[in-house]
């Protein structure tokens, strides 16, 4: 009955794969904020049964990426600008701590190489005369690699979890916006280099301080961009009574005859 058996690459279980896919979808803004996820339709559209789907949804709800209401199911929360700014504030502290740990504990050669590679990649993306969108994509990639490497170097599951929570902001997620103007990107790149040096030199306080400033400056750029571009749209006060607006697939026909 199962189509894919004895496949070597198939390490994980269905629920986990689903959780991964859905997490990605939610973070990428695949579902409109406030959307109500219909289990039956979602299951059909993903070609799975409800059981593993629910498993995935429960997990995501535990992670705080979805909200659950007892007899109404799962919804993707709508975040206000204030919430997003708070998240950056928290993230500045958490990433700062990660940088501090990395500096305190020292990093493996592999991670040092990854850091250097991401810096080089960022440099290249800034130097290239590629189209603006393409440059941005490249830089976003380098940026993610840089921060990822530091989080790894921190060697703390807890810090990683906290950062996951801080970045559970749909739409605004790191790799979507990241760098807003070329000048901003240059500034960020310089900050990355300072952070790298502080870590290599094993200077915890300096690394933490630099990282905090860096993230807070990203916060500023984001807020500026957000207010000037979106302003009105999707600025709801988190979990206010919003209209259902279900999703997961069509909810079309509703044919009935009188009693």
Partner DNA sequence: CAATGAGTAAGTGTATTCACTTTAATGAAG
Partner DNA sequence: CTTCATTAAAGTGAATACACTTACTCATTG
- Binding residues for DNA (CB under 7 A): 1-2, 5, 13-15, 36-41, 48-52, 54-55, 68, 70-74, 244, 246, 251, 253-254, 256-259
CB of 67 vs its own copies, minimal distance in Å: 10
By the criterion CB under 8 A, which residues form the site for its own copies? 11-13, 15-16, 54-55, 58-64, 70-71, 83, 86-87, 89-90, 93-94, 96-97, 101, 156-159, 161-162, 165-166, 238
Q: Which does 256 bind (CB under 5 to 8 A by kind): its own copies, DNA, none?
A: DNA
96: CB partners within 8 A, 6+ apart: 207, 208, 209, 211, 212, 215
Report how many helices (DSSP H) and strands (DSSP E) the chain contains, helices first: 9, 4
DSSP 6: S
How many C-alpha atoms does 91 have within 13 Å on its Cβ side?
23
How many C-alpha atoms does 237 have within 13 Å on its Cβ side?
2
Secondary structure class of 68 (helix, strand, coil): strand
End-to-end CA distance of the chain: 41
Q: Which is nearer to its own copies, 142 or 211 (CB)?
A: 211
CB of 101 vs its own copies, minimal distance in Å: 8
Q: Which is nearer to its own copies, 140 or 162 (CB)?
A: 162
Q: Which does 251 bind (CB under 5 to 8 A by kind): DNA, its own copies, none?
A: DNA
Q: Which is nearer to its own copies, 91 or 136 (CB)?
A: 91
């Amino acid at each position: 009955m199962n189509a894919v058996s004895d496949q070597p690459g198939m390490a994980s279980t269905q629920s986990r794969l689903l959780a991964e896919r859905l997490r990605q979808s939610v973070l990428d803004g695949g579902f409109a904020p406030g959307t109500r996820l219909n289990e039956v339709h979602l299951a059909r559209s993903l070609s799975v049964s409800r059981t593993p789907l629910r498993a995935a949804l429960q997990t995501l709800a535990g992670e705080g990426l979805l909200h659950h209401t007892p007899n109404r199911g799962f919804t993707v929360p709508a975040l206000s600008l204030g919430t997003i700014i708070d998240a950056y504030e928290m993230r500045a502290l958490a990433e700062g701590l990660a940088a501090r740990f990395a500096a305190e504990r020292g990093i493996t050669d592999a991670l040092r190489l990854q850091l250097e590679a991401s810096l080089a990649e960022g440099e290249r993306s800034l130097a290239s005369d590629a189209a603006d969108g393409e440059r941005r994509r490249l830089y976003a990639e380098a940026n993610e690699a840089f921060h990822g490497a530091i989080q790894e170097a921190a060697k703390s599951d807890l810090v990683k979890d906290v950062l996951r929570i801080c970045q559970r902001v749909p739409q605004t997620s790191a790799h979507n916006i990241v760098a807003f103007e070329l000048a901003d990107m240059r500034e960020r790149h310089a900050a990355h280099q300072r952070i790298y040096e502080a870590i290599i030199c094993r200077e915890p306080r300096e690394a933490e301080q630099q990282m905090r400033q860096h993230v807070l400056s990203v916060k500023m750029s984001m807020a500026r961009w957000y207010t000037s571009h979106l302003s009105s749209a999707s600025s709801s006060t988190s979990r206010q009574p919003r209209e259902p607006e279900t999703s997961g697939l069509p909810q079309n026909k509703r044919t009935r005859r009188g009693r």
